[in-house]
Amino acid sequence: MVMIKKQIHLNKNSMIKRFLVLLIAIQFSNCAQQQKVVNTLPKDNILTEELISKGIHQALVNGIKKQIPKLICEDGFYRNKIVKISLDKELKDVDKSLREIGLNNLADEGVKVLNRAAEDAVKNATPIIVNTIKEISFNDPKNILLGENNEATKYLKNKTQKQLHKSFKPIVKNSIYKVEADIIWSKLITRYNAIPFVKQVNPDLTSYVTNKALEGIYTMIEIEEKEVRTKICHRNTILLRQVFALQDKKSFIK
């Protein structure tokens, strides 16, 4: 009996050792893979600004192609806690007051249709967004590459937000009409403004949904940028592997 227990104990120790060896092997394999990519850089660690710009462009476009489809399906905004369009203070007052008089279903529908409008608008505006990204230029691409995990997205937002808002707003307006958000919110506002002593409201839903939908787009692009920066497996082209290896090399030098 004692011998059996000793054998079981030895087997457990053996399994634990094998598991630890496997973990170490995986870790070294990942490091070796990363170092192999890093070693493909020129010995002087220099990549042209043009090449770096192309790599950043590609990472951002990948963000559109891989992440935006998640927004344009049904509930793409509504069920996504990261980008769901909620209500600002004015609209929250409307929502709260209607619920207090028992119009919960109408209030729920009001939130949902704003998200439905965003989903439809982003679907129709995706080509515009991609073209806008392709057309921007980077003043200092190397600093963007070696910056924070969302550095390229921040630059993109700063350079394109006004332009995209202008081209995106008419699409949102049409989507609001398409999903009948205008009809539902007309009922909401009419019922709210009929409540005694409330401050009358007349919200600009088109501008509100446009701003919130754009925020959602930039958020999803930022998620993909972080994936490309931190996970080699997300660099699905030679260009991405080569360009972002420079960022990795910075990590190895530290």
Q: What is the pLDDT of residues 48-95, one digit of tens each?
A: 999 999 999 999 998 898 999 999 998 999 999 999 999 999 999 999
For residues 226-232, give the mean pLDDT: 94
Least confident interval from 1-10, 171-180, 191-200, 201-210: 1-10
pLDDT band at 20 (very low <50, low <70, confident <90, very high): very low
pLDDT band at 21 (very low <50, low <70, confident <90, very high): very low
Say what percent of the chain tops pLDDT 70: 80
Write the pLDDT tens digit of every residue in 143-193. Answer: 999 999 999 999 999 999 999 999 999 999 999 999 999 999 999 999 999
Name which residue leads in pLDDT, 41 or 148: 148
Where are the chain's structural domains? 1-39, 48-253
pLDDT band at 249 (very low <50, low <70, confident <90, very high): confident
Distance CA 180, CA 155 (A): 35
pLDDT band at 5 (very low <50, low <70, confident <90, very high): very low
Q: Please report the pLDDT score of residue 18 as a whole number.
A: 52
Q: Return the half-sphere exposure (C-beta side, CA atoms, 13 A cut-off) of residue 251.
A: 15
With the C-alpha atoms ordered 151, 231, 82, 112, is the resulting torsion angle positive or negative? positive
For residues 84-110, give the mean pLDDT: 93
What's the mean per-residue pLDDT of the chain? 83
Asked if the model's pLDDT at residue 22 lies above 60, the reply is: no
Q: List alpha helices for 136-237, DSSP H.
A: 141-145, 151-178, 181-193, 205-230
Q: Please report the pLDDT score of residue 95 as a whole number.
A: 93
The contacts of residue 223 (CB under 8 Å, 6+ apart) are 63, 67, 82
Residue with tokens 């709260």: 96
pTM of the predicted structure, to 2 decimals: 0.79
